[in-house]
């Protein structure tokens, strides 16, 4: 198997790759034509059989999720694409939509056909206006070319697509909060069950999938389930985009078969920045427990990462070298969660608020010995007690950092200041300060 296998990223270097003309020249919409010649049940079975797992973080099998929809009752059923990419470190869907929006639209058309949906939605975070321009233009182009709208490609199957921009809220990445937001409300999670498959958008059966999951669908239809399964591992099939950021020589997007290791990816990205060494890294975003150099050889598939005590999440691999203060990094993540907590449940709203206060105190040099006990205790009141998974994930970086780097917190308290020089971590030259 090749070290890298660009499929979803394959067209990102093409001339004006975001246009319908460029996409079609690269073979675009051939998968849709192929899917429309099959029955919806056959398309669904192919995706189910491919083993594709959700690329938005949770890793639930995509085809199985589709199959949870109740039998048609004559009323509408919806597909909603989650393009609210906001998990810290995650930066794959936004470049995909900027460079190759038609791959998402083709995936939407195939998926909607498979699940019997006639009105699909993309919920894009609002803070990326150029991506929204590209999506709006692509949806218009596709409709003008008969790839959306009445009788898609002359098949008799109708599909409407609405591309919607949010307005700045991390919580809208949680699927039920996203649906509330799309209904014009505050984005707060709903009690489950009922799950969206049964009562989602406007209380109708709804599938919510991540951008990368849906953009994988045309490839699976084109190549077949067995071709897809020939890549990756037995339980984590296919390819996926790995995003490397931070203290690496060549940060960026690396699409590889699932199961590649961080050691391999770091090597491909030119290693940790010159003259420095790896201190810690986040495998799947800031809501997943951190890893150290000891986990460099863990295969980055769903089950192996879980077995090593973290989560594959969104494959948002954030790299930090020895210049970085763990207390500062964790404080910043806690500031993020406190800011983004939707306020619906007490464990997350109050827990992240007080953890932020205590962490700021320690990082600022006013920490007290008893603060360590507070840092140990509060996460126990959040994890497993929050209303939604985003709350449950909020203390992950803190808890894991206390396991690996407890003495660093203690040093802040003993010294009454941060022992690190923040300038040593920065990426710009002295002249650019």
* Interaction residues for another protein, span 273-302 (CB under 8 A): 286
Window 291 to 350, contacts with another protein (CB under 8 A): 316, 318, 320, 324, 328-330, 332-333, 336, 339-340, 342
Q: Kindly tell me which residue out of 85, 301, 363, 392 binds another protein, with binding defined by CB under 8 A.
A: 85
Q: Which residues make Cβ contacts (< 8 Å) with residue 373, sequence separation at least 6? A: none
**Cβ nearer to another protein, comparing 355 with 368:** 355
The yes or no reply on residue 192 touching another protein (CB under 8 A) is no
Comparing CB distances to another protein, the nearer of 69 and 290 is 290
H helices of 126-191, where?
129-144, 175-182
Q: Could you tell me the two tokens for 261?
A: 């290791």
Q: Which residue's CB is nearer to another protein, number 105 or number 330?
A: 330
Q: What is the DSSP letter of 231?
A: S
Contact status: 235 vs another protein (CB under 8 A): no
Quick one: 3 or 373, whose CB is closer to another protein? 3
Beta bridge partners of residue 240, listed in sequence order: 256
Residue 400 touches another protein, criterion: CB under 8 A: no
How many Å apart are CA 52 and CA 66, to the nearest integer?
12
184 binds another protein (CB under 8 A): yes
Q: Decide whether 12 or 368 has the Cβ nearer to another protein.
A: 12
- Whether omega before 194 lies within 30 degrees of 0, making that bond cis, reads yes
Q: How far is the CB of 294 from another protein (least distance, A)?
A: 21
Specify the stretch interacting with another protein by CB under 8 A; choose among 142-150, 176-184, 301-309, 348-356. Answer: 176-184
Q: Determine the interface stretch with another protein among 94-102, 296-304, 368-376, 407-415 (rule: CB under 8 A).
A: 94-102
Nearest-5° Cα angle at 376, 375 to 380: 110
Which of 2, 71, 73, 193 lies at the binding interface for another protein (CB under 8 A)? 2
Tell the smallest beta-carbon distance from residue 207 to another protein (Å).
16
The DSSP line for 63-75 is HHHHHTSPPP-SS
Q: Tokens 């071709």, residue?
A: 227
Binding mask 113-152 for another protein (x = CB under 8 A): ------x-----xxxxxx-xxx-xx--x------------
Residue 28-57 contact track with another protein, rule CB under 8 A, x = bound: x-x---xx--x---xx-xx-xx--------
Looking at residues 410 to 429 of the shown chain, list those that interact with another protein (rule: CB under 8 A). 422-423, 425-429
Residue 340 or 373: the one with the smaller Cβ distance to another protein is 340
248 is written with which tokens?
A: 């690496």
Residue 251 interacts with another protein (CB under 8 A)?
Answer: yes
DSSP state of 100: -
**Residue in this structure with the two tokens 């034509």, named with its chain if needed:** 33
CB-side neighbour CA atoms (13 Å) of 99: 15
Burial of 169 (0-12, 13-18, 19+ CB in 10 A): buried
Structure tokens at 402: 């206390």
Instruction: Return the number of the residue (13 or 369) whose C-beta is nearest another protein.
Output: 13
How deeply is 410 buried, as exposed, middle or buried, from its count of CB atoms within 10 A (0-12, 13-18, 19+)?
Answer: middle
329: which 2 tokens?
Answer: 């990094």
Bond into 312 cis (ω within 30): no
Phi and psi of 12, rounded to 5°?
-65, -15
Task: Choose, by CB under 8 A, the member of 158, 202, 384, 419 that binds another protein.
Answer: 202
Considering beta carbons, is residue 170 or 302 the nearer one to another protein? 170
Q: Where are the alpha helices (DSSP H) in 60-116?
A: 62-67, 93-99, 101-115
Which residues inside 360-399 make contact with another protein, applying CB under 8 A?
none
User: Which residue, chain included where needed, has tokens 């002359």?
Assistant: 154
30/350 with CB nearer another protein:
30
- Residue of 82, 86, 233, 401 that binds another protein (CB under 8 A): 86
């Amino acid at each position: 198997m090749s070290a890298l296998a660009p499929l979803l990223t394959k067209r990102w270097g093409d001339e004006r790759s975001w246009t319908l003309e460029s996409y079609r020249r690269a073979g675009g919409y051939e998968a849709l034509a192929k899917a429309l010649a099959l029955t919806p049940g056959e398309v669904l079975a192919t995706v189910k059989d491919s083993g594709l797992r959700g690329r938005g973080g949770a890793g639930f099998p995509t085809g199985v999720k589709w199959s949870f929809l109740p039998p048609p009752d004559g009323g509408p059923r919806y597909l909603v694409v989650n393009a609210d990419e906001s998990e810290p470190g995650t930066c794959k869907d936004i470049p995909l939509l900027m460079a190759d929006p038609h791959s998402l639209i083709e995936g939407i058309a195939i998926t909607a056909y498979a699940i019997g949906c006639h009105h699909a939605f993309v919920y894009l975070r609002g803070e990326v206006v150029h991506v929204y321009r590209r999506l709006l233009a692509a949806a218009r182009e596709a409709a003008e070319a008969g790839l959306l709208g009445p009788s898609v490609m002359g098949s008799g199957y109708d599909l409407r697509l609405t591309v919607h921009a949010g307005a700045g809220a991390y919580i809208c990445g949680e699927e039920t909060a996203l649906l509330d937001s799309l209904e014009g409300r505050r984005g707060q999670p709903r009690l489950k069950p009922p799950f969206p498959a049964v009562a989602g958008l406007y209380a109708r059966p709804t599938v919510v999938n991540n951008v990368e999951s849906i953009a994988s669908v045309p490839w699976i239809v084109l190549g077949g389930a067995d071709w897809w399964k020939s890549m990756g591992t037995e339980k984590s099939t296919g390819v996926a985009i790995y995003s490397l950021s931070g203290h690496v020589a060549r940060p960026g997007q690396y699409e590889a078969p699932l199961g590649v290791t961080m050691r391999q990816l770091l090597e491909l990205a030119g290693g940790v920045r010159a003259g420095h060494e790896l201190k810690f890294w986040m495998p799947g975003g800031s809501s997943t427990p951190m890893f150290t150099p000891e986990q460099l050889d863990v295969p980055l598939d769903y089950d192996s990462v879980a077995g090593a005590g973290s989560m594959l999440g969104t494959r948002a691999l954030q790299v930090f070298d020895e210049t970085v203060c763990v207390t500062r990094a964790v404080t910043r993540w806690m500031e993020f969660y406190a800011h983004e907590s939707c306020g619906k449940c007490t464990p997350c709203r109050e827990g992240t608020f007080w953890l932020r206060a205590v962490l700021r105190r320690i990082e600022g040099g006013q920490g007290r010995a008893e603060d360590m006990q507070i840092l140990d205790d509060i996460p126990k009141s959040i994890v497993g007690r929050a209303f939604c998974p985003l709350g449950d994930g909020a203390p992950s970086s803190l808890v894991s950092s206390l396991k690996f780097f407890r003495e660093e917190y203690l040093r802040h308290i003993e010294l009454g200041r941060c022992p690190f020089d923040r300038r040593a971590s920065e990426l710009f030259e002295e002249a650019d300060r």
